[in-house]
Amino acid sequence: MSSATRSATGPASSRLPFVVWVLAAGTFLLGTTEFVIAGLLPEMATDLNVSVSHAGLLITAFAVGMIVGGPTMAMATLRLPQRHTLIGALAVFALGHVVAALSTSFTVVLAARVVTALATGAFWAVGFVIATAAAGPASSTRAVGVMMGGLTLANVVGVPIGSFVGQYTGWRGPFWALAVLAALAAVFVGRFIPRTDQRAEVSVRAEVRALRQSRLWLALAAAVLIMGGVLATYTYITPLLTDRAGIPAGAVPLVLIAFGIGALGGTAIGGRLGDRRPVATAITAAAASAVTLLALIPASNSPVPAVILVFLMALTGFTVNPVVTSLAVRFAGDAPTLTSALTTSAYNTGIAAGSLAAGRALDSSLGLTGPALVGAAFAALTLLPLAALALSNATGSSRIVAQHTTGAGTGEQQAANATMTSAR
């Protein structure tokens, strides 16, 4: 950690350093581009002369780009200064949106989405590492919660605004806006992310060696399952609300805003409680999420209980996210970059797997309640890796990779080791 970063935190300060909020703003921007396209698909399909289902590949391509590209880009930029990686990622992100906005070819737009996903994966991987290092051992989970809050806020604010703008300017309008905002974000990152003269001694071998940690894979498994559970239900929540709960179609966006507010609250709760009792917090939230999703099946016959449970579904499910993300980065020791990227991949894998399983359930005899049942099952399965993680922490059977930093004093080394121990 650089002296500039350490001075920004202070040993006794409860405030998060400003760089964490800058990174959260970047996460908000990148999260908006992942989800806003869902509201623009019909117009994009018409303009690019493809079917709506074919245009849906723009969403799939982005998810695949995040799953595969995040770890790949993290390793490719491993020896670059982290500040340069963030600026470069935002520059590529902006360029990708410019290319898409100028093109009339679906293939070009699809390729631009993949490139944009690669840049997004690189930003998140490095951003999580910088945020946790800047916040210090006592507030690392809270810093992750703030960064993930930016992603959640993208659903609450960014996506509705983007869809609204697209109705008046066409789908290219939001793309141009995202390109301009990304360029401005690059300027802010260059201004506020401190230059680091001393960097950790990192290598591809060290990053891969960190993956031997069994507790790391338990945290990643929990990330896959909890996101799969919540998003399995959320993906098909509209027909459940309109056809079963009897909520007018025009009121559905308000329910989705309630979901976003619940998700934002969940990331804040997980960030606050996760620094003190991470595994206990994650287990409690995952169990509550499973119960909430299961209760949604009979309660979705009535609009008021359905709306309340949609809010609670997000609140409980998203409480787990900052905890398991922070744990994964801690368990990686001195090689957190690849692990941070794999965490992002884990969430996108959960989204893909949960949505696929929910779609199959929707077409089965389970009908509209099928996705909620799938979601409850995924959330319940999240308890398995979390329980194993709790047992592993109790027995102390897993080795934490030691941190070695060029020019770092023993006091900083001990602080890093204390971060690892606090995960137990």
The answer on 185 and 215 residing in a single domain is: no
Q: What is the pLDDT of residues 310-347, one digit of tens each?
A: 999 999 999 998 899 888 878 876 666 677 778 878 88
160 and 232: one domain? no
Last residue of a domain, one of 168, 197, 226: 197
pTM for the model: 0.69
Summarize pLDDT for 376-401 with one digit per residue, the tens: 999 999 999 999 999 886 555 444 44
pLDDT digits (tens, 9 = 90+) for 351-382: 878 888 888 888 888 988 998 999 999 999 99
Closest CA to 339 of 216, 256, 253: 216
Instruction: Please indicate, yes or no, whether residues 242 and 281 belong to a single structural domain of this protein.
Output: yes
CB atoms within 10 A of CB 414: 12
Q: Are the C-beta atoms of 210 and 338 separated by less than 8 Å?
A: yes
Residue showing tokens 């959640």: 152
Q: Which of 176-185, 218-227, 230-239 has the lowest mean pLDDT?
A: 230-239
CA dist 368 and 235 (Å) reads 12
pLDDT, average across residues 222-227 = 94
Q: Taking 90 as the threshold, does the pLDDT of residue 229 lie above it?
A: yes
Query: pLDDT above 70 covers what percent of the chain?
Result: 83
Which structural domain, as residue segments, surrounds residue 55? 16-197
pLDDT for 236 beyond 90 = no
Q: Tell me what percent of the chain is helix, strand and coil, each rounded to the nearest 5.
A: 80, 0, 20
**Claim to verify: residue 64 and residue 171 sit in the same structural domain:** yes
Residues 148 and 262 occupy one common structural domain: no
| CATH classification at residue 229 | 1.20.1250.20
Beta bridge partners of 405: 200
According to the model, what pLDDT value does residue 5 have?
42
Q: How many CB atoms lie within 10 A of CB 2?
A: 15
The average confidence (pLDDT) of the chain is 79
Instruction: Read off the pLDDT of residues 143-174 as tens digits, 9 standing for 90 and up.
Output: 877 877 787 778 677 777 787 788 788 899 99
* Residue 2, domain member (yes or no): no
Can you tell me the mean pLDDT for 271-282? 86
Same domain, 193 and 211: no
Structural domain total, the chain:
2
Angle between helices 303-331 and 370-395 (to 10 degrees): 30
In a domain, 6, yes or no: no
pLDDT range class, residue 45, cuts 50, 70, 90: confident
Domain end (from 197, 221, 236): 197
Whose CA is closest to 94, among 106, 104, 102, 105? 102
Nearest one of 231, 26, 60, 48 to 149, comparing CA atoms: 26
